[in-house]
Structure formats: structure tokens, C-alpha cells
Structure 1
């Protein structure tokens, strides 16, 4: 099913290709905010018949446009309309927490025609988990409905004690209307004439008691974070659609002007980067501590520790404010006590924050849920990387109590059985597997049996090692020699233990995990690729892992699979055991760049570009099936989120990998080791945000004219001479960062 999604702040609309939400709202269609569906039916009819979709686009993210035409019928057209003679445009925007839609109906027939436009609307207030198929033991009730010629208002009193309302209003009265929510508008159109009709759909949370029945003024509550926090989705008075469009266009223009720009010899590469940035903008919310990305639409439009952190890490060169807001938001929600029901422990970073009825009433454990083994070390890595990128010591020192608590969680609660590795047991009410591959069958032995906990995942040990190493270095710079030495010693011990326990000599590869009996889970997976961002393996073993990841059983042509096709548990259509995830590939590519393995970066980027070329709006989905590219077009995974935050962030991290960009603002240096593929002649980036300023540069492949004699003049132009004819030329176009640029290792 082709869909269209638009979103702003914490409100999103997901419809089919006609712009409709059909009765029953399949596939997560609806208007949602705070994990609740406020519009479950939204169907447009012309003279009693559905319409044909001509085109639909929602490039910017907060606005969408759908063009429709009257459908043909055996009699020559529905109720006497000439075939293909009436065109309808649905222009919609989400702004101020409100959905606006302007319908324009145009008669393109040579004679006058009378049309009847009908909207059928309804609200079921289903929790997003209920929409996904989770059972609900207890729900609230729709307690009032009020319909008149100008619209519909429906009130729902939730089992969580929160009142929710949907308010639908038309710009003019309907000719007829009836329950549950059908509104008919009659238009007599001359040849070439058009008429417009506007409606608004306003989700409101925390309205006054008696508001629908008594017509009283609604009161909302300030949007604050917490599963039990009521909120009014609308923050400002409802404006006209024209005002909302103008304000949104102005905000988008200003946002674009502040962004770094990418221009290359490959138009699809440029388009993919722009798509990524637009999607991250759409997925951003603010819980009061600055912007952070939610995980994805429709199922995961909520803060997720792991997902938000990885997306923020990927976007650092372009949107460092995402890392700032994500770190501050997750720090405020950091675990304070031991609470087994939600896997909370002191210092632990949350996995998921939910606001809906099922979470608020404890029917799902995810209201504020901490069942993630990797979010805490990732928090530490992102904090350290943010410091390296920005040099913002004030913010990072302000985060120190939370960093310290996270480090202590690793040392105490994270090591479940005292063996020096960070593990998880899984829990009966939440997630059994608590790494990024968190489906129930994701950690499986070679014979097909599921691994039993506590489970130590290989990539988690890599995250922990990198966190210890980076924070040991930062504390040493801050003059905290004793604590720095403790962390560096812990990192070295982990490195030694890891290489003894996880390395598989027969495969010359890293085991997925250790199970509760300390047996290797000896399957070949992509998880080992995340270790390449560190020096945990050492150069020789890292090179073996990098080469192995590009062999045909792992590399599909559209990216690296999550599991080798030779494994018994492999399934190309599974969620985690054979599919391809762009965020997974971006982290591996970044690691390959750090290890000096440019070929791997090139092949991963080429695979993702091949998918983007085929995907709707060139948008990388959350994942796709692991079938080989040699077999044909990429095969979408049916339940993948799109847009999805760390899929959107993947191309941005690949830009960093191509440049070999490793800034260290506190040390006063930016290192570049670019690795351009043969099919990319050059890349120009303007306004990368590093330290306290901007860096602009151009990287291009050498030509025969460059020669060896140009090295002196190249130096004067700020061009770094390469060590071989294959190395690209780097020209620094602008550098007001105050940092020295070093090209090469």
C-alpha cells in the first residue's frame, strides 16, 4: 500500500495514496499524537464514489498534496459526471498541533456539472499498541458526540483518567450531515470553475469535563514529558490554513538557510542527503530540553534512547543541536532506582517513553521503560562525540553527574554476573532481547536454538569499550587523572577479555554474543561490524572482519545483511535475521573508514543509493528484505517505518565516512582522510558545523592534469597533497572554526 505521511511536532497524519483513512484504518493509518489515534476515518467521496489518485507528494514533511480525479464507471462516470472531468486537490499541513486541509474542486468539462463532495470522518482514540495488535484489557469510553452542519466533536474518557477530544470543523456548513460523521457539500460548477472547502482536525488532550456536551471552553495543559502527563496537542490558537502555510514555509526557509550544504557530481547522492535532513526535521520533537528525534512513523513516534542517540550521532556534522537536545532529554529521564517492572536501574538510560492509554494504565510496560542494554553506553559515546565536535565544555560538564551515573551503571548493574561484560537478562513483561536486534528470535545459536541469558552482545562490549576509552581521555584532559586512569585500565582489561572470549578462530570473525553459560553464540552477523568504530579488535582482526562483511553471504548488493545467508536461522524476510538495515550499514561504513578500508565505504554507499533510487521520494526505509540485488529490485519489508530516524541519519554518517572526518575541537584539530569512490568525482560541503564555527571544503578525485608538480601551489591554496595518485585532493574553502585542518593520517 502506498502511503503519505506528514508530521510536525508530536502530531502526524498517515493516509493512503488518495489521502484517505478508510474505515477500519488498516496499516496504522490515522491522525496520531501522543500514542493515540484521533482520526480513524477520513474518506473523501465525489457523487458517492471513491476517487482515483493522480499523484501525491509530501517532500517537505509537514505539508502534503494529493491530486485526484473522478473515477470512470460503466455508465460513463459516477452519477452522470463526464469521465476524468473533475479534478480535486487536497492540500494539507500539520501546524500548531492541528491538521488543516484545503480541498479544491475544479470542473474541467466543457459544460456545467453539479457535484456532491462528501467527507466521512470518525475518531476511535485507539492506543498505538492497540492499532499494532496488542490486546487491551481495559479501555475508556466515548462519552459524547456532537455533530452539526459545521463539524463533529467526539470526546473520549480514557481508562487512564485523561480526557481526549477530536474537533473537526468545516469552513462552510454542509448541505446535509448525519451520524456517525458524514458531511455532504453540493457545488454547481461552470466550465473551468473551481470551489474550495477547508477543514481543521484538532486533537486535544486534557479538555475540561463537560466541554463537548456543554460547549464550554477547552483548557489544555502544558506539554511536559511523562507517561501520565496530560497535554493539549495545540499550543496556539487555530490559524487559517494560509497563515499556517506561510509560517511553515518561512520556518522551513530559515531552517534550510542555516544547514550545511552538500553538492557533488552525483545528483542522487545530493538528493538523498537532503531527504535525510528533511526527514530528521519532521521526526524531531521537543520535550522541554531541546530537539530530539523520535524513532519512526507510525509505530515508534516516541522518544527511544537507542534510536534517538544513534540518529543524533549520525547527524552531528549537520545538526549538532539534535545531540544536545537528546542528551539533555535522556539525562533528565535517567534511571534513579531499581524497578524490575520497567527494568529501571540507577544510571540507566531509558529505552522508550510512551504517553498513551495502555502505557498509562500499565497494560504495556513501555510508559517509561529501561529495557535496553546499549542505550547507556551509547549515551556516553554521543556525549563524548558531541564534545569533540563542538568543544562545548559547559554543556558537557553540566551533564557530568549523568555521565558519572552511566559509567557506574556499566560497572555495577550492567555486569549482571560479574564476568566483566555488560549483559541483559531480558524480562517477562517487556523485551526478551534488549540489544538493537530486539525481536525474540534475534539471538540464536548456529543449530537454531535460542540463546539463554544473561546475554552479552558483541557490539555492546564495543560501545562500552569506546565509552570508557573516550571518557578516560576527556577526564585526563580535565585534570581528573585518577578517575581517568581507572577508566583506561577498565577499557584495556575489557579489550583483553573480549578478544579471548568472542573471537572465533575457525571463522576468523566475532561471535554474536556469549550466552548465560558463557558459550559463544557463533553465528555470523552484522553486529561485529559495529566494533570497527573502535580499536577493540586490533588492526589485523578488524581487517578480517571488514573483508568478511563484504562477502556475498553477508553483502546483498543492497547493503550488509543482519545475518549470513549460510546460517540456519537466516531468513531474508525476517526483521533481524537476514534483512538489511541502513543504520547498521552506516555504523559499519563509519567503522570501515576509521580502519582505512575505503572499499567497504564505497560498496555500502552504492548499495544504499541503489535502494534510494527505487524507493518512494528517495527515502530509505527502516529496513528492507535481504534478497540479493542480482535477483532484481530491492524488496521492501512490509511493516518498515518510513520515515525512520536512524535510517534518515544513515546518509549523513556516510558523508562523514567518505570524508574521514574526525574533529577534536578541544585539541584544536580537524582530521580528514577522504575516500571517494570511482563513480563520485567530487563533493563540496559548505558550512559544516565544527567547534564554534563553520568549515567549508571541496574534495575531488585527482586528474592527470593535477600531476605531482602542483603540490606546492596546492599547499598555498589549502589543498592537502595526497600520498598517492588515488588519494583525492582536499581544498579548504572556509574555516572560521579556529581549528587546524590536517589531511591524511
Structure 2
């Protein structure tokens, strides 16, 4: 990626690889919280010249380090500073709403040198949607800068009446401050001598700003938080270094993406543009993370429940019981220039909310949370039956009502993503194939839980509705000529006959008959859908295929992971290995082995995956994809009703050992070791410890209809 980003809770900073935010830049770099840019400039200079970047690794999640040096400097034939004389190391981190940055300048010239070191700051307080060029609206005005010794405060009074400030402080008395936000330091350093200067940037809203604690204490507490996260998560190690690298990368990226808005930690969608509560993405990432840390699912469910729809509001595409799509809190949202307060234009978040609640219970047996969420679950199910299926054809459909909303409201939400075989775009209301699978899976997994809790009639209603849905879905969506499912039904109930990855999500739902599940599994890994680096979003044979597109031929790791959940739980070991091997080989070519949001769908024969130009990284559901690898390798499916954990373990190509410690389930955790024996088709599994209260079983073959 061509930027560097760091985040802690709801404050994040995106800069150039050098660590700078140049004046007048248009790349969206800045310091953000609450959908507002609190720094739009952060530049360093030495003697008025831009420094030369030496390195800026992207693999440290707590402290970003930038190593720079000076260019050669002469004036009128006189030497001012020999090239590479001064090393500048910038180290930065964020803790409790404050950006900490320390610049260490070291003289490596054999004589004493004197130079000017300058740091320039500014803040435009722009709304995130303005920065991205999506929306305009009435905005506020800058207010006079307040100057104090060793600090100054930039200010803005928004059109929403909120005062926003950015306070910049430094710890050196040697500074000379100019009026344009430039802070100058005249430094004289002897050979090998260094000087450290620390800056503290504190955004404030409504007249309040975060307190600054000593940087050493702040860093120690940040490090403690990282250690606590690691102790709370499952540990996994193999004899394949690449797998280990992806696992650790994903685990640490997910920690950075966690945020708490008052209801528990949950994953925001991704950086830099979606560091906000995001229904579909947050729910899917939490689902992916169940084997890593199920507590995140709890925080996600409570957050989504807190913002569940309560009324009919076309401006926000809100309806009672509906789970939100995206929550924004900037100036444009507050002045109602955009409907994201929150916005509800998503068709899949509501069934995914139900699905996550059911799967969370089956992992944890946390009946208390289900009791707490019962009103929300009831309202979500009521939305599915009434608003999600307004024409009562048994299928959940979407239709945009908001004038500034989203037209396509599934995970493939670009305007060209639902395309007929003749190239025409499908017209709403649209029923997506995978959404019907989410509904089916949610109801079938919830029904026994509700029955156990005494809601017998409710459970019976869910079970009866799934029987009707299963029959009708397999009749209306199946394309006999393709031996595959259509991506959707359009307004006229016509099949949208493009071959896409969407039906791959159905494998985990249990809605497919075994013979059709087999056809889907085989097609996902056929050459037209499988690029070698992963499953494409659209077949190369479909009219809309474009390997450079966002949703019509690209490869999305999270999409692959949902297909993988179904492939592994349905017993398709070879297909599962193909998907995992392909994504792992793709990861080799991305910085720090970080799987991006998506990449282009070209053949692996190119010998490298082609990056998509504006992919978010890190992205929560991409970061969680290696976590799904572990679920797939274990073939794990807890069942709190039966108090069992089913395992159908396998190993990747070239993998001889997998050790898993502390995978949370029931009342405790499970640790085990899997080792290769013979041809590896039936690896040996050793239970190292089991404090879950669940019995472990090893079925020979999990049914393709895995949740019936």
C-alpha cells in the first residue's frame, strides 16, 4: 500500500510512507475521528528541504517508525550540509485519543552541524464525505488560533454548532513558532549527538480534548493492551511459516480495527475510509472471528442492537427491526446532508445479525446474552417477514428509497454488480441468493435455541418457514443449464443468470440439497471462477466479467472465506485446500503478507496478483480470512444444544503439524495438535486439553446439508 496508517479505538492517522501529510494533498491523508479530519497537514523539513525516506515498515501495529535523512545542501558553492549527515527517526503511536510523535535527530557527520528542523501543522476539519468527494453541504468556519507557550490550538465552528479543535503541543523550549502553523527548531549537534523532540496532537469536540499522559506511560499502557489481546485470543502455530505469518498479521490487524462506542469492542470495516460501525462488515468479521475471540461477536451484537431501526424513515432507508448499514457522526451527518445517522440501506445485515447471534450461542452457550437480545431478535425476524419480503414471495429483497442512499444493497454494492447475461443491469426489488441462505441458516440455528428457552411456538414457526424457503429457493434460483444458482432474482422475478461467487455462501447455510452443493463446490474451483489466487466474484464466461472491476471479476478474500466456511463444513477438503493455498500464495506478494480488501481477478499465471488501486488495507473481513483458515483446517462446528464440538481436521499442502491452544468454546477452551500421517488424508488429532464442557467428536463426513 502507498500509505501508512495507524489506529487506536476511533482515532486514526493516514500519511504518506514518509510519515508526512503534505499541504494541499488530495489523497485524503489526515488525522481523523468522528468522521472529521483534525490534521490536514503534518510535514517535516530540514533547512527548508523535504527529507529522504529510507524505510517505513508497515508491520508494527503499535508504533510506526519512519527513518529519513537529509539531501545534499549547498548554497552559492558553500556546503550547508553533506548528504545523509542527519538521521531523522520519527516514531508515532496513538493512545486514548492523542497522537504521540517523537522525532529523534542524530548527527553522523564527523563535525558539529547546525540546521533548522521544521514541522508544519494545519487542520481543515473537513467531513469524511467531503474529503472523499462524495457529498457536499453547508459547512462551518475556522476560528482564530489560540497560542500558548509550547502549544497552539486550531479551531473550527461547524454548521452543526459544534466547536472542533486540534491542540498541538511539544516538549522543547527551543522552538520558534510562526503564525502559519510552522514550528521551527535551530539545532546544533556534535558528532554522534542526538536530540529528541516530541509532539502531542489532541483532537477536541465540543470544547473537550483528551488529556495527555507522559509518552512512556502511554506507550506502556498501549503495549499492555496488545499483550492482553494476545492472551485473550486463540494461539495457532504450524510448520508452515507463511501460514503463521498470515495468522499473526490477521490477529494483530483485527486488534487495531476494534472500536468501542459504548457497547463493547467490535470490528470497524476497514482503514482508511470505513473506521466506523458498519453492519454487514462488522457482523461478518465477528462471525469469522468466533474461533479467535468470540467476545468480539458479543460486542458486535450489542452495538448493532443499540442502533436497530425503530421507525419508517425513507431518508435513511430505516424500518422497524432493521439492522443498520453504516453510522457516521461528522458535520454532514449532523446537518442531515447525508442520511448516515445511521443509514439502513443494506439487505443482509439483519439476517447476519440473527445468524451471528445463533452462531455465537453455539460457540459459547451464553444464554444470558440471547435473553438480553430476544426483543432485538424478534424485531429482526419481524423485519424479514414484513419489510424484507413486502411482496410475500418468501424471498428477502431490497429497494432503495433514500434519495442519497445506495442502489445495490448486498455486499456487492457497486452500481454495476447485479448484471444479467445480456449485460443489462437488474432492476430492484432484487432478491440475492446468498441473503436467502443467511435467512435460512439464521432460522435453522436459532430455532433449537428458542425451543430450549421455552419459546416453542416461535421455534416451530421458524422451522416451518425454512422448509418453505428451502423448496422455493431451490426451484427459483437453480439454473439447470449452468448446474449452478443465479446471483439474484430481479423485479420481474427473472433469474439474473451471471455465474458469480455469491452462491458459494450457500454452502454453509444448509439450504442446498447434497447433489447441488456438490455442483456449487466444483464450480467455485473450476477455472472460470477460480483464478489460482482465489475465487473470483464473477466467472470469466459471464457478460459482466472484468478482472479490474470492483465486484465483477475481482477476488475478495472475505468472499472466499465465506465460501470456505461452507466448503470445509460440507467436507470438501480438496476444494478448501485450493482456496487457502491460492490466497496464501497471493499474500506473499502483498506488503507484510497483509491480504487486502480485494485484488484484480487475473490468472495466477501472471506470477503475481494485480492490486486493486483503491483497496482498503487493513480491512476487517480480509484480516479475519486467515482466522477462517484455522476453522477450515479444524473442520470445527460447536453445538451448544448437543454440547458437542465436531472436528474434521485436515492439513494444508506441505503442512505437517498444526498446534492450537485456547480456542474458546462453552465454559472454557480446547487445545489440540494435528499431525500428518501417511498421505495426510486422515491426520492424527491429539486433544491436549478440553475445559469447554463439550464432548469432542470426529464424524467421518459432515453432511452437505450441514445445519438441517
Question: For residues 175 and 252 of structure 2, what CA distance do their matches in structure 1 show?
Answer: 40
Is the Cα contact below 8 Å between 1:147 and 1:179 reproduced in 2?
no
Matches of 1:364 and 1:594, distance apart in 2: 41
Where 1:544 maps in the other structure, the secondary structure is helix
* Inter-partner Cα distance in structure 2 for 1:175 and 1:88: 17
Q: Partners of 2:485 and 2:338 in 1: how far apart?
A: 35
Corresponding residue to 1:636 among 604, 611, 620: 611
| Aligned residue among 493, 502, 506 for 2:468 | 493
Distance 1:294 1:335 in 2: 19
Change (3 A) 1:197 1:497: same
Q: Do residues 582 (structure 1) and 557 (structure 2) align?
A: yes
Tell me the TM-score normalised to structure 1 length. 0.92
How far is the alpha carbon of 1:163 from its aligned partner?
0.9
2:288 maps to 1:333: no
Equivalent-residue separation in structure 1 for 2:258 and 2:299 (angstroms): 10
Tell me: CA distance 1:78–1:362, structure 2 relative to 1, closer, same or farther (3 Å).
farther
- Which structure ranks higher in relative contact order (CA pairs < 8 Å, sequence separation ≥ 6)? 2
Are the aligned partners of 2:114 and 2:187 in contact in 1 as well (CA < 8 Å)? Answer: yes
Q: 1:265 and 2:239 equivalent?
A: yes
Secondary structure, counterpart of 2:624 in structure 1: helix
| Equivalent position SS for 1:518 | coil
The whole-number CA distance in structure 1 between the counterparts of 2:62 and 2:543 is 44
TM (norm. structure 2) is 0.96
State yes or no: 1:37 paired with 2:37: yes
Is 2:478 the counterpart of 1:523? no
- 1:77 Cα deviation after fit: 11
- Name the SS of the counterpart of 1:352 in structure 2: coil
- The DSSP-based 3-state class of the residue aligned with 1:144 is strand
- Show the 5 A alignment for 1:532-611: 532-611=507-586
Structure 2 residue ranges without an equivalent (≥5): 701-708
1:741/1:139 CA distance change after superposition, 3 Å: same
Q: 1:563-612 deviations in whole A, cap 9, x for unaligned? A: 11222211111111111111100000111011111112111111211222
Residue in structure 2 matching 1:410, options 371, 384, 390: 384
Match of 1:153 in 2: 153
Shift of 1:675: 2.2
**Match of residue 697 from structure 2:** 742
Task: Return 5+ residue gaps in structure 1 as ranges.
Answer: 208-219, 221-231, 705-724
Please give the alpha-carbon distance, in whole angstroms, between the structure 1 residues aligned to 2:275 and 2:594. Answer: 17
Tell me if 1:61 matches 2:61: yes
Q: Does 1:373 align with 2:328?
A: no
1:314 Cα offset (Å): 0.5
Cα distance change of structure 1 residues 5 and 493 upon mapping to structure 2, 3 Å threshold: same
Q: Distance in 2 between matches of 1:251 and 1:425?
A: 43
- The answer as to 2:390 corresponding to 1:435 is no
Q: Show CA shifts across 1:78-129 (max 9, x none).
A: 9621221211110111002000101000011111111211101100001111
Asked if 1 retains the 8 angstrom alpha-carbon contact of 2:533 and 2:582, the reply is: yes
Match of 1:139?
Answer: 139
Give the aligned partner of residue 360 of structure 2: 386
- 1:445 aligned to which of 420, 435, 441: 420
Q: Distance in 2 between matches of 1:629 and 1:540?
A: 30
d(CA) in 2 for partners of 1:170, 1:77 = 35
CA shift in 2, pair 1:142/1:734, >3 Å:
same
CA contact (8 A) 1:47 1:116 kept: yes
Query: Whole-Å Cα distance in 1 between the matches of residues 137 and 177 of structure 2?
Result: 35
* Change over 3 Å in CA distance of 1:518–1:77 after alignment to 2: farther
Over 3 Å counting, the alpha-carbon distance change for 1:676 and 1:112 in structure 2 is same
Query: Which residue number in structure 1 is paired with residue 688 of structure 2?
Result: 733
C-alpha RMSD of matched pairs (Å): 1.6
Cα distance in 2 for partners of 1:336, 1:522 equals: 36
Q: Residue 734 of structure 1 aligns to a residue in which SS?
A: strand
SS at structure 1 position matched to 2:510: coil
Are the aligned partners of 1:62 and 1:95 in contact in 2 as well (CA < 8 Å)? no
Task: Determine if contact 2:85/2:107 at 8 Å carries over to the other structure.
Answer: yes
CA contact (8 A) 1:5 1:15 kept: yes
1:239 to 213, 223, 235: 213
Matched, 1:317 2:291: yes
Match of 1:248 in 2: 222
Tell me, yes or no, if structure 1 residue 678 matches structure 2 residue 633: no
Q: Is the 8 A contact 2:263 2:299 kept in 1?
A: yes
- In the alignment, what sits opposite 2:100? 100
Residues 1:170 and 2:170 are matched in the alignment: yes
Residue aligned with 2:52, SS: strand
Q: Does 1:616 align with 2:591?
A: yes
The aligned residue for residue 116 of structure 1 is 116
